Structure 1
Amino acid sequence: YDELSPTYIIFFCLFDFFQDSQRIYTFKKRCLENMNIELADEAVIMFLNTLGTKGDVSPDIQSLFDYINSNTITSNFTREVADTIVEIKNDKKVRDAYMTYEMRMKDLRDEAHAEGKAEGRAEGKAEGLAEGKAKEKTATAKRLLSMGLSVEDIAKATSLSVEQVEAIKAE
């Protein structure tokens, strides 16, 4: 635990996820029972709101926000970002790796979807069978009642409780 490197997860948002107009929202793990206790794993999650108006950011970060929002290059930093994006887009290996990754993600989503459908069908089938058995027991109990059998005998024959058979009889 002590050897963990600091971890940063950064989300660039083109909308204000938390609706507080902050440019940057920074989160660290805290104990809910005592907010003075912070988990010392050095994990930080940041949401960068490109449309925020509250809080100070460096000129480079503001120029990055401007670039993200309007594709306008306003600094050397955003020039480097734009050049790197073009370089990555033109790199066949990177493009192929990205496409392979996207196809694998699609396959995993499709597999999960198929498993979910199969699971749903199995649950539906089980519910349908259980419902069908319950209806059949009720129908059998009604026939046996019409034949004059006792509630106790019908309960034994259908595996229904005496209370259930009495409720059917009351109908």
Structure 2
Amino acid sequence: MTAGTVSVTGYGLFFYDDLLLRARYYQGACDVATVRRRTKFRNLKETYIVFICEEDPFGMGLPVYTKKNRFTETDALIYDDKTHAVFYNSSAWSKIQDEELRDVLRFIYESKATSSFSKLLEENTLRAKSRPEMEDEYMYFMDILEEEKEYAREAGLAEGRAEGARQKAVETAGKLLREGVSLQTVIKCTGLSENDIKNIK
């Protein structure tokens, strides 16, 4: 990135149903964190919100999706407010023309960015924390990361509860079948499908 730009990068297996809203949220966070009192609008920094996704975020098979703002009435004008959102699909790394970027996405997809990538992130975080002018921005985005962790935790708990409820239904179905209860009655009592129940037998 050049001087006068701000970038925020997210990495991982995101909840794609609200990915676009996440991009908007991060953009707003960038604006709040970088705008100073009496900052002239002409001095607003160009921002890039970048998501590096382990799988295809939009299911179109493209290696990269780039957001562009346009006017509804005409394609001849670009609504250039200096904000950008880019979504990389690591699973399609082989389709990337740029060799360096292709190698990075391949590493993330195949190695899950465990050792050296994590070390690089840590080094950049420490570098940001050591710069006084970045302290506010760092703390602000740490708040965002904490919210992301809470979101993921809640989603994991919900998934766990759903799996637990299903397992309980399977156990109940097995008991009813052993007692000679009819298949249709078991379906009504447990909410399982006929195929699920047949697999129990």
Same fold (TM over 0.5): no
Rg comparison, structure with higher value = 1
- Give the TM-score taking structure 2 as reference length: 0.37
- Give the TM-score taking structure 1 as reference length: 0.43
